[in-house]
Structure 1
Amino acid sequence: NNAAEVFHRIILLILKSLPLHLRPIILLSVFNFYFISASFSMSTSSRHYTIPEEMAKGFLVGNIAHDLGLQTKRLSSGKARIYTRDSGDYIELNRDRGVLLVKERIDREALCRQTTLCALHFQIILENPMEFYTVTVQITDINDNAPTFEKSEMEFKISESAITGAKFVLERAVDLDVGINDLKSYELKPTDHFVLKVHSNADGNKNVEMVLQKPLDREKQEQISLVLTAVDGGEPQMSGTMLIVITVLDVNDNAPVFTQSTYKATVTENSPKGTVVATVTASDADQGSNSKITYSITNNLDDIAKVFEVNEENGKVTLIGNIDFEESRHYQINLRASDEGGLTDSCKLIVDVQDVNDNKPEINIMSKSNVISEDAKLNTVVTMINIEDKDSGENGKVKCFINENMPFTLKTSNTNFYSLVTDSELDRERASEYNITVTCSDEGVPSLSSSVTLTLQISDVNDNAPVFERSSYEAYIVENNTPGLSIFTVKARDADWNQNARVSYILEDSSVNGVPVSSYVSVSADSGVIHAVRSFDYEQIKDFHFRVKAQDGGSPPLSSNVTVRILIQDQNDNPPQVLYPVQTGGSLVAEMVPRSADVGYLVTKVVAVDVDSGQNAWLSYKLQKTTDRALFEVGLQNGEIRTIRQVTDKDAVKQRLAVIVEDNGQPSRSATVVVNVAVADSFPEVLSEFTDFTHDKEYIDNLTFYLVLALAVVSFLFITCLVVIISVKIYRWRQSRILYHSNLPVIPYYPPRYSDILGTGTLQHVYNYEVCMTTDSRKSDCKFGRAGSQNVLIMDPSSTGTMQRIQNEKRSEADPPMSCWYFSRKKRGESTILLQNLWIISTFLNLFSLEDIFVL
């Protein structure tokens, strides 16, 4: 920039010295030179633009996308942005249009002060992949500032003896503009006694002097007022004025003179306040008060007066402020020596600042990624860093490194730019986060360093399948559970993170006894809790197994399987069922005991079963209530009712025994059966005792009416359900839905072990039952074979005739008598209708699945 400024000033001097008709040719040559230089710079990774100052917000700087050969969508996808450290926020990037715009008004004078070439330097950063380009926007000057004087009035006291040619240094005007818009000339009026001379210094500044061309005469004019006008070279021209008041004094005809026109001094930055930088000396040939010299600093346009001060009497220049090499490497102090007669002389003091290593390297993050995938490729750029050290020489040379044992490394392609890249494979399950410390040290003595810690999260990739805690599971559940009861919990863990570790549990399709397992159990997708869908019955199913799949939420998902076995435990939920004697609501069955029966005579045997298992099925028989407790007893284990004494004539003919059958469960369940025993040798003797068990005709007629009404209602509901289900079937067939047919026929339930041939179960003898009925009740008959009884008495409540003796002969205990129950004609017909309806309902349940019935 300094070289460009010197070149610019040389061009201006050449232009001023040439005739007007040659200036356009020179300007065209300079323009071509700038154009060639700009073209050369644009061929690299940097771009250069030029705009005038004071442009409005939104002014187009340049089409950066076109100049860089980028598409506008690349600017959007790469999240293009401007990175700048000290150029201010004056330029903004429009990604959609790919252009640079003025973000706020640019005042060249506030930005660059007197620097001729004023430019904004920044970088454009793009990501995915990371790129950056350097952009320079030069700000040209416009004539928006008039020349100004720091003081509106300046006073001089000049002796009337001042000789012709005496020089008086005037204050310079300041024009914040540069180039052709800078200060051009001065004009002094009136010119009766003084003329104006302007001297150009080697540093480009001008000294303005007022030269006496006609001797002063205090007696003629004691005070003179002059106007100094400063004019710039802009279009239109602007000017500023200052009033000069001259007071004529007597006889001080010698001005102070400095021993040197230029003084030089050196000071180290950060020197303490009060340090003497240099001493300037001036002398005056006059004597007395006219030879007394006063020293002062005349720098009024910069901050020199805030950093240095001069002793008015001895000329010592001392430090009163802080000196920073990085802010200013040298200072020029303009000094003035004045005597009391108003005569002055000037000199300058050049102070060079020496650098010390007082600045740590500055680490600036240009762009960084907070998260990187664990499957990132090698040499993937994670962070871009810019390093700055304001010191110079060895104090400004910086080297950077990161902490060891990290899968990253620092690479540099430029002195001040580093890239943090991956240099080995990443594994989130081994390390999910890295704290990378970047340390930068300069080569000064002593060395200064700074560091910054970057936190980098490793994002997960679905590379681990869920793993169950066990290879298989086994759970127990007590039958008659409540549907929805939690049975067991399966648990699988996934080493991945977040969505990839979110495990869902799925019940795999399988069947148990031909029924989908989903009708038995369900599994919670989130928690893995297995619930019972139905209430289990140990008597129907004792155990079953199925498979559960654990699947994560990755893409694609990973899964694993485990087998779960459910064991159903028995519960004492079934009371004993009495098979014999059968309790009927119509005909009355009574066992006959002859009065000649001996002790231990087998009256009958109570036969009962329990469908539970284990000790829940162990039955015991007890005599709960009896007409004569001293006459009969019941076997605790076998249920045999025997006489415990000799039957006498005094014993009542009608004996009623209540036998309770209990199982061994906890708590135990029981059933009670009433056994009617007739103690007599003939049927007429018994008949009169059992007449109170008959029912009257009116009660039977009412019962028949309600039964017929119930059958009619059931038939109507059956036909309605049949029509609805057939409609549903046709609709589902049209929808091409897969029909599910249940293979569970509804059959009459018979408790197990109704016959026990080996005699090891509840029954100790073989019992056979045969029921034969036709649609004609009058032709129906019944057969029943039984062991363990001697005599059976059948009572028909609807009959008022003489009781029939079914069996007259005595049979031994090894060959028990055979008996049969006979129904009244009316009741046999009603029973036939009931069986027909039960057959129809059974056929209906076979044709349609449980799912169809649930729909209804």
Structure 2
Amino acid sequence: YIIYIYCTYNFHTGPCIGLAVLLCLFSLESVSGQARYSVPEEQAEGSFVGNIARDLGLDVQRLVSGNARIVTKGSRQYVDLKRDKGILVVKERIDREELCEKTTPCSFSFEVILENPIQLYRVTVEVTDVNDNTPAFPKEEMHLKIVETAAPGTRYALQRADDSDVEMQSQPDGSQIVEMVLITPLDREKDEEHALVLVASDGGSPPRTGTARIHITVLDANDNAPVCSKQVYKAEVQENSPVGTVVTAVSATDADKGVNGEVTFSFAHVGQQAKLLFDVDSKTGQIKITGSLDYERSKSYQLNVLASDHGGYSDTCKVIIQVTDVNDNSPIIQLMSFSSTISEDALPGTTVAVINVHDEDSEGNGLVECSINNDLPFKIESSLSGYYSIVTDDVLDRESVSEYNITITVTDKGVPSLSSSVTLSLHLSDVNDNAPVFDRSSYEAYIVENNSPGLSIFTVKATDSDWSQNARVSYILEDSSVNGVPVSSYVSVSADGVIHAVRSFDYEQIKDFQFCVKAQDGGSPPLSSNVTVKILVQDQNDNGPQVLYPVQTGGSLVAEMVPRSADVGYLVTKVVAVDVDSGQNAWLSYKLQKAADRALFEVGLQNGEIRTIRQVTDKDAVKQRLAVIVEDNGQPSRSATVIVNVVVADSFPEVMSEFTDFTHDKEYNDNLTFYLVLALAVVSFLFITCVVVIISVKIYRWRQSRVLYHSNLPVIPYYPPRYSDTLGTATLPHVYNYDTCRTTDSRKSDCKFGRAGSQNVLIMDPSSTGTMQRIQSEKSILDEPDSPLEVRHFLL
């Protein structure tokens, strides 16, 4: 701006005094950024700034799909991005003086970030000055005292006007000094005071002006002016220096004596910010700190110190203060992009977050290092300057860790170093990558036979370490067969794993079976696993004992003969029985229910052997009828009864009458039946049929008896197929467990048996009247070769 001096009329002297005011103007250099736009200050909201899409080579659709947005470091955002048009517009009022003060060129920077994929662009907007501020003097009136002996050409420093707009003219060192030069000598006796108007005009179009009144008082002679020791003082001070710290001290000398030689110091003209930070002692010239310095706000200050004497003489020196940086700013972390959820099947290298880091300190104090937790499957990578990406570094597994807390720590390289940190919570979304697992490798379940259909047998359980629908387990019965029958006709499996019996089981038909159950989750595609289930049918006492020997037949009567000379413990016979149940349900016990003489015989409780317990006497009846009860050990127990006929005699004649008694009733019944048939045959058309039937029955019985008579073999007990005592708990001891089959001509085969002493066997046929045939028989193959016991059989 241009300063004019108006001449005021002096009423005492008439013509005005000519004073020249010099203004030194200097210019500041400008700087530029990467992508640069220029916009005047004070533009209306919505004003066009630049076509960002065209200048960055981007399509408008890319700005929309990439969710383009502006990221600024500060709290204010002066421009806005219109993604649908690809342009930048003014968002709020921009005041260049508020933004940059005296700094020129004035600009601010921001980043444009796009996602999918992530792209960053840096944009710089220069704010050009508009002449919107009027020059203003610190005081509307300035008072000067000038000694009358002042020589023409003497300069007097004046307070300059301050314009917040950019000044286009300045001194080479950047300062702006206004001085008043005396043109003609003063004469206090003529003019003691002078009044001037100082006009400050800026360089705008149209220009703006400001005025100040100058009052000049002419003093009496003082012909020596103060002289500063240095024209320029330089000092350094740390930005964290406390208030009251002495930065430097200026000095000046005056050759005058007394009051005229006393020098006082003051700031000639200092910027508003500098006035708040520094003060000068008027007597000592010490410059002290009065506020908080901030290197990041201003790196240097220039102070103009005025050294004045009481006579109005003065000298000016400059003090340049350099502010040195200290590490007083922690790094700032700004989260640019972050997804709080990531799929557990994300590949290594997947970007999780993007951050921006900056430190307002300078040089080494502003250099930073970023790090994250070492125990996490993530790493940090640097992209653009100041930007870092958090990416996956390993395979993720939600079932092992479902959530991660990623702590990002930023540390600068200052001494001492400062750091900042931020924690990101990252959740893993589930993927169906785990099949259901049963709590056992296989299952065994028990069910008691004769169960009711639909009975719940057992429950299988499988768990899936996935989450939600992927962990929902259902159970399916795998197709298979048991003894040629589909397993689904035996059991069923509900969706919650409960196994039910479809039918009633019979232990004697099926003792166990197994099948597979599949556990399937609800994922897509579903995963499954199988397990084998074995069902064991438990026995119930639902079968009574079966007597195998002695055989109870309807056509003939079997009797055992005991000689009167038999010793105590003589083996009369052995009752053999079996029970198709198992376990204790098949444990059999024997006892006598009814006997003619209980003192003569006893039956073994476990083996069923009937033995004598004393010597036979003449008083003992020849015919003995024993009823043996066979009971199992079930709860409740079941039993069977067998009749054993015993004859006590030493010779055949003694027993003939007894045999007659045994069969008398039967012969009578047979003859009666025969006569009734004959009578009915006479009066009935069916006579011939009845005769044929009777003859056939008689021939069948005769053949059966003849086969037994001529086989020369004892009666052999019948055992069911595969009957054996594997556990040692059945009725027969191991020595009696056998299967034997012989034909009527087996004597002629190569199978030979040892002969024992001959035994008497009496056979009486009902068809013969009183005749008796004696047959020599062999010793029973059931006995051991060296057994001293003999068994006598009577067939009637």
Matches within 5 A, 1:423-462: 423-462=393-432
Structure 2: gaps of 5 or more residues: 1-24, 542-582, 586-633, 642-668, 675-796
- Give 1:303's aligned residue: 273
Distance 2:516 2:434 in 1: 21
Instruction: Confirm or deny: 8 A CA contact 2:463 2:473 kept in the other structure.
Output: no
Q: Cα gap change, 1:98/1:436 in structure 2, threshold over 3 Å: closer, same or farther?
A: same
Identity among equivalent pairs (%): 53
Q: What's the secondary structure of 2:62's corresponding residue? A: helix
Distance 2:318 2:26 in 1: 24
- Give 2:10's aligned residue: none
- Give 1:842's aligned residue: none
In the TM superposition, what whole-angstrom CA distance separates every residue of 1:828-851 from its partner, at most 9, and x where no partner exists? xxxxxxxxxxxxxxxxxxxxxxxx
In the TM superposition, what whole-angstrom CA distance separates every residue of 1:758-782 from its partner, at most 9, and x where no partner exists? x9999xxxxxxxxxxxxxxxxxxxx
* Higher relative contact order structure (alpha carbons within 8 Å, sequence separation ≥ 6): 2
- Give 1:557's aligned residue: 526
- Counterpart of 1:51, as a letter, is V
- Alpha-carbon shift at residue 488 of structure 1 (Å): 5.3
In the TM superposition, what whole-angstrom CA distance separates every residue of 1:547-602 from its partner, at most 9, and x where no partner exists? 65433343333223446678999999xxxxxxxxxxxxxxxxxxxxxxxxxxxxxx
- Counterpart of 1:174, as a letter, is D
Matches within 5 A, 1:613-624: none
Matches within 5 A, 1:51-90: 51-86=39-74, 88-90=76-78
- Give 1:619's aligned residue: none
Q: Cα gap change, 1:52/1:564 in structure 2, threshold over 3 Å: closer, same or farther?
A: farther
- Give 2:93's aligned residue: 105
Distance 2:535 2:449 in 1: 11
Instruction: Confirm or deny: 8 A CA contact 1:87 1:120 kept in the other structure.
Output: no
When the two structures are superposed, what TM-score results if normalisation uses the length of structure 2?
A: 0.57
- Alpha-carbon shift at residue 419 of structure 1 (Å): 3.2
When the two structures are superposed, what TM-score results if normalisation uses the length of structure 1?
A: 0.53
Match of 2:134 among 123, 127, 146: 146
- Alpha-carbon shift at residue 306 of structure 1 (Å): 2.5
- Counterpart of 1:530, as a letter, is V
Match of 2:83 among 82, 95, 116: 95
Match of 2:115 among 111, 114, 127: 127
Q: What's the secondary structure of 1:303's corresponding residue? A: helix
Match of 1:503 among 446, 463, 472: 472
- Alpha-carbon shift at residue 135 of structure 1 (Å): 1.2
- Give 2:180's aligned residue: 210
Distance 2:513 2:359 in 1: 76
- Alpha-carbon shift at residue 348 of structure 1 (Å): 1.0
Distance 2:330 2:61 in 1: 40
Distance 1:63 1:480 in 2: 90
Matches within 5 A, 1:707-746: none
Instruction: Confirm or deny: 8 A CA contact 2:449 2:506 kept in the other structure.
Output: no
Instruction: Confirm or deny: 8 A CA contact 2:266 2:280 kept in the other structure.
Output: yes
Matches within 5 A, 1:564-603: none
- Alpha-carbon shift at residue 546 of structure 1 (Å): 7.6
Q: Cα gap change, 1:469/1:172 in structure 2, threshold over 3 Å: closer, same or farther?
A: same
- Counterpart of 1:373, as a letter, is S
- Counterpart of 1:498, as a letter, is W
Distance 1:87 1:351 in 2: 30
Q: Cα gap change, 1:248/1:477 in structure 2, threshold over 3 Å: closer, same or farther?
A: farther
Instruction: Confirm or deny: 8 A CA contact 2:352 2:391 kept in the other structure.
Output: yes
Instruction: Confirm or deny: 8 A CA contact 1:161 1:253 kept in the other structure.
Output: yes
Instruction: Confirm or deny: 8 A CA contact 1:517 1:546 kept in the other structure.
Output: no
- Alpha-carbon shift at residue 84 of structure 1 (Å): 2.1
- Alpha-carbon shift at residue 219 of structure 1 (Å): 5.2
Instruction: Confirm or deny: 8 A CA contact 2:195 2:213 kept in the other structure.
Output: yes
Task: Out of 262-271 and 544-553, give the one that drifted further.
Answer: 544-553
In the TM superposition, what whole-angstrom CA distance separates every residue of 1:61-102 from its partner, at most 9, and x where no partner exists? 333233323334433443333222137322233334333332
Distance 1:218 1:485 in 2: 133
Distance 1:153 1:70 in 2: 59
- Give 1:380's aligned residue: 350
- Give 1:523's aligned residue: 494
- Give 1:327's aligned residue: 297
- Alpha-carbon shift at residue 145 of structure 1 (Å): 1.6
Matches within 5 A, 1:351-390: 351-390=321-360
In the TM superposition, what whole-angstrom CA distance separates every residue of 1:471-512 from its partner, at most 9, and x where no partner exists? 4556678999999998754432223x4336422315458799
- Alpha-carbon shift at residue 337 of structure 1 (Å): 1.8
- Alpha-carbon shift at residue 242 of structure 1 (Å): 2.0
Matches within 5 A, 1:150-165: 150-165=138-153
Matches within 5 A, 1:446-485: 446-473=416-443
- Alpha-carbon shift at residue 226 of structure 1 (Å): 2.4
Distance 1:299 1:395 in 2: 34
- Give 1:201's aligned residue: 171
Name the count of aligned residue pairs.
541
Task: Out of 473-482 and 434-443, give the one that drifted further.
Answer: 473-482
Q: Cα gap change, 1:569/1:234 in structure 2, threshold over 3 Å: closer, same or farther?
A: farther
Matches within 5 A, 1:248-259: 248-259=218-229
Q: Cα gap change, 1:305/1:478 in structure 2, threshold over 3 Å: closer, same or farther?
A: farther
- Give 1:191's aligned residue: none
Distance 1:518 1:313 in 2: 117
In the TM superposition, what whole-angstrom CA distance separates every residue of 1:517-574 from its partner, at most 9, and x where no partner exists? 69996735xxx26397x998789999998865433343333223446678999999xx
- Counterpart of 2:472, as a letter, is V
Matching of residue 232 in structure 1 with residue 198 in structure 2 = no
- Counterpart of 2:135, as a letter, is P
Matches within 5 A, 1:23-34: none
Q: What's the secondary structure of 1:305's corresponding residue? A: helix
- Give 1:344's aligned residue: 314
Distance 1:311 1:538 in 2: 115
- Give 2:783's aligned residue: none
Task: Out of 321-330 and 115-124, give the one that drifted further.
Answer: 321-330
Distance 1:91 1:183 in 2: 27
- Alpha-carbon shift at residue 49 of structure 1 (Å): 1.9
Q: Cα gap change, 1:470/1:261 in structure 2, threshold over 3 Å: closer, same or farther?
A: same
Q: What's the secondary structure of 1:143's corresponding residue? A: coil
Distance 2:171 2:233 in 1: 15
Q: Cα gap change, 1:401/1:520 in structure 2, threshold over 3 Å: closer, same or farther?
A: closer
- Alpha-carbon shift at residue 462 of structure 1 (Å): 2.3
In the TM superposition, what whole-angstrom CA distance separates every residue of 1:698-749 from its partner, at most 9, and x where no partner exists? xxxxxxxxxxxxxxxxxxxxxxxxxxxxxxxxxxxxxxxxxxxxxxxxxxxx
Distance 2:48 2:447 in 1: 80
In the TM superposition, what whole-angstrom CA distance separates every residue of 1:125-152 from its partner, at most 9, and x where no partner exists? 2233322111112222222222222222
Q: What's the secondary structure of 1:157's corresponding residue? A: strand
Q: Cα gap change, 1:538/1:481 in structure 2, threshold over 3 Å: closer, same or farther?
A: closer
Distance 2:515 2:528 in 1: 16
Instruction: Confirm or deny: 8 A CA contact 2:160 2:269 kept in the other structure.
Output: no
- Give 2:264's aligned residue: 294
Q: What's the secondary structure of 1:306's corresponding residue? A: helix
Distance 2:356 2:243 in 1: 34
Matching of residue 166 in structure 1 with residue 132 in structure 2 = no
Q: Cα gap change, 1:498/1:172 in structure 2, threshold over 3 Å: closer, same or farther?
A: farther
- Give 1:828's aligned residue: none
Matching of residue 265 in structure 1 with residue 235 in structure 2 = yes
- Alpha-carbon shift at residue 110 of structure 1 (Å): 0.8
- Alpha-carbon shift at residue 395 of structure 1 (Å): 3.9
Matches within 5 A, 1:584-663: none
Distance 1:492 1:565 in 2: 17
In the TM superposition, what whole-angstrom CA distance separates every residue of 1:786-811 from its partner, at most 9, and x where no partner exists? xxxxxxxxxxxxxxxxxxxxxxxx99
Task: Out of 343-352 and 432-441, give the one that drifted further.
Answer: 432-441
Task: Out of 224-233 and 89-98, give the one that drifted further.
Answer: 89-98
Distance 2:104 2:439 in 1: 77
Instruction: Confirm or deny: 8 A CA contact 1:159 1:251 kept in the other structure.
Output: yes
